[in-house]
Amino acid sequence: MKQYNTRAIMASLLICGFVGMFSETALNIAISNLMDVFQISAATAQWLTTGFLLTLGILMPMTGLLLQWFTTRQLFIGSLVSSIVGTVIAALAFNFEMLMVARILQAAGMGLLIPLMFNTILVVYPPEKRGAAMGFVGLVIMFAPATGPTVAGLLIEYFTWHYIFWLSLPFLVIGLLVGLKYLENVTDVTKPRIDLLSVVLSTIGFGGVVYGFSKAGEGSEGWTSTVVLASIAIGLIALALFTLRQMTMSDPMMDLRVFKYPMYNVGLLMVLSCMMIILSSMIILPMFLQNGMKLSAFTAGLMLLPGSALNGILSPRMGRLFDKYGPKWLVIPGLVVVAVTLWFFSSISTTSSVAFIVVLHIGLMIGISMVWMPAQTNGLNQLPPALYPHGTAVMNTLQQVAGAIGTAIAIIILTSGMEKYLHDSSAPTQQTEVANAMTAGSQHVFLFAMIVTLVGLVLAFFIRRVVVNHSAMNPMH
């Protein structure tokens, strides 16, 4: 096996990944601020997030193909140039349109970087060391979005939202320079034929589903809106056609043979349930803290920091434990912890103490760190190297879809819970009653997340450690 300077390669990928994920969530805290500055509605402002997710949803399915068309260095430089240009435009943005363009460029950069990061790890590290390496990716994927709101809250309080991007810029440049010096080409460029129909179907399919669910989560009409139903329906039809097309092609854009590997499927389902749990609770909790408990954005951000920081710090540790003991002893206890904390979360109210919520959030994040990376690494380990780009493309794409679905469902459960409470209330306009309605809605969301966790727990009993034996390429090994 070829020797790589794994530390430098990881450092450059992780720095850039961290900054990308950081700016993704940092802007969420600034949304109400941006609505005032640009004089835009909440639905318009929501596009800064929806547009970002949509770009990822469209680009990620193509990464399996791109990883075979371009060298590691070309993709890395492309992703960083896109991120840097986007960040500069965002930092200078003086109207909504300019910021929107910047967000799409940033998302394009991230959409290339994350699959590249996973793929590089699978190629550069031997199977017995992958858990720890994937753990560091977990650190980035969980810790960066967690620090985003806290840092952004501080920047908005003392400077302007532009500084979110000015702060990110030097780190992206450093990451680019480290990568240019140390990152080597780790994949073979095979230049498979590009099937335009597959590209179109995948774009309409994944784009339609992500857009439909994102729209359902933000509008007052929700599921009854024609746009929502139409885009989800068109998306699903396009996805069905896309799947049929991939099955019949000798050189598919997204190789669906990854689904022949049972542990890959179990790992994938685990990751998707984690994604739904995290996103539904991470969207509702800050809203509950700000609108239910009437805390400031900065305080809410600070309360969520210990749990998220711990999740990030523990990710590499969990990865090492996975390398040593396999997935079962981490995943099952992890899901039990998540289920218990969500059960407690489903009874929080405006009188719950700050400490209690912080402790619960820490428990939730520790549980997730025990499930996410071990399940993901175990699943990807079962694939033969030729399917690595496809395995990561499928996983990353479906994560975006699960994220959009989880968010939409959470918002819908929250709104209907609030509406039901206020409908039965004698004084629906009173501040205290609105806060109580927020509590009722939030409790329902946590119950939904708990049900998802219990489904995951049932699946966890089927997880087995994958013995990596690449001489035998039989999927049933």
Residue ranges of the chain with per-residue pLDDT less than 70: 1-2, 217-222, 469-477
Residue 329 corresponds to which tokens in the numbers above? Answer: 């002893």
Q: What is the DSSP letter of 289?
A: I
Last residue of a domain, one of 166, 191, 216: 191
Do 222 and 235 fall into the same domain? yes
Last residue of a domain, one of 142, 166, 191: 191
Do 178 and 41 fall into the same domain? yes
Do 313 and 239 fall into the same domain? no
Q: Which domain holds residue 94?
A: 1-191
Last residue of a domain, one of 252, 271, 298: 252
Do 91 and 166 fall into the same domain? yes
Neighbours of 257 (CB within 10 A): 16
What is the spatial distance between Cα 443 and Cα 288, in angstroms, rounded to a whole number?
10
Q: Are 45 and 100 contacting, i.e. CB atoms less than 8 angstroms apart?
A: no
Confidence at residue 449, expressed as pLDDT on a 0 to 100 scale: 93
Residue 266 corresponds to which tokens in the numbers above? Answer: 């179990």
Do 207 and 88 fall into the same domain? no
Q: Are 265 and 383 contacting, i.e. CB atoms less than 8 angstroms apart?
A: no
Do 420 and 391 fall into the same domain? yes
Do 129 and 215 fall into the same domain? no
Do 11 and 141 fall into the same domain? yes
Confidence at residue 473, expressed as pLDDT on a 0 to 100 scale: 42
Give pLDDT tens digits for 200-237: 999 999 999 988 887 776 656 667 888 889 999 999 99
Do 165 and 220 fall into the same domain? no
Return all residues near 384 (Cβ < 8 A) that are at least 6 apart.
470, 473
Do 322 and 245 fall into the same domain? no
Q: What is the count of structural domains for the chain? A: 3
Do 6 and 146 fall into the same domain? yes
Q: Which residue has the tokens 């590997």?
A: 261
Confidence at residue 476, expressed as pLDDT on a 0 to 100 scale: 40
Confidence at residue 471, expressed as pLDDT on a 0 to 100 scale: 46
Q: Are 358 and 303 contacting, i.e. CB atoms less than 8 angstroms apart?
A: yes
What is the spatial distance between Cα 198 and Cα 461, in angstroms, rounded to a whole number?
36
Do 70 and 108 fall into the same domain? yes
Q: What is the CATH number of the domain that holds 473?
A: 1.20.1250.20
What is the spatial distance between Cα 102 and Cα 83, in angstroms, rounded to a whole number?
9
Confidence at residue 412, expressed as pLDDT on a 0 to 100 scale: 82
Q: Are 383 and 258 contacting, i.e. CB atoms less than 8 angstroms apart?
A: yes
